[in-house]
Amino acid sequence: QEGTRSYAKGDYSSAFEYLSKAAKLGNVEAHYGLAGMYGDGHSVEKDEKKEIYHYEEAAIGGHPSARFNLALIDRNRYGRDRATKHHIIAAGQGHDGSLTWLLENHKRGGFVKKEVLGAALRAHQAAVDATKSPQREEAKKYVSPIKPTDD
| 3-state class (DSSP) for residue 41 | coil
Judge whether residue 119 has pLDDT over 50. yes
Q: What is the mean pLDDT of residues 121-142?
A: 82
Judge whether residue 146 has pLDDT over 80. no
Judge whether residue 150 has pLDDT over 70. no
Judge whether residue 60 has pLDDT over 50. yes
Q: How far is the CA of 113 from the CAs of 57, 69, 106, 107, 119, in angstroms?
A: 29, 22, 6, 10, 10
Q: What is the mean pLDDT of residues 53-70?
A: 97
Judge whether residue 141 has pLDDT over 90. no
**Percent of the chain scoring above 70 in pLDDT:** 93
Report the half-sphere exposure of 90 (CA within 13 A, side-chain side): 28
The span from the CA of 98 to the CA of 73, in Å, is 13
Query: Confidence band (pLDDT; 50, 70, 90) for 4?
Result: confident
For 7-51, the pLDDT digits (tens) are: 889 999 999 999 999 999 999 999 999 999 999 998 899 999 999
Report if pTM > 0.85: no
The span from the CA of 28 to the CA of 10, in Å, is 21
Q: What is the pLDDT of residue 33?
A: 95
Would you tell me how many other CB atoms lie within 10 Å of the CB of residue 115? 8
Show the 3-state SS of 83-128. Answer: HHHHHHHHHHCCCHHHHHHHHHHHHHHCCCCHHHHHHHHHHHHHHH
Contact between 38 and 57 (Cβ < 8 Å): no
For 66-86, the pLDDT digits (tens) are: 999 999 999 989 989 999 999
More confident of the two residues 97 and 141: 97
**Percent of the chain scoring above 90 in pLDDT:** 72
The alpha carbon of residue 9 and the mean position of all alpha carbons in its chain are separated, in whole angstroms, by 22
Contact between 35 and 59 (Cβ < 8 Å): no
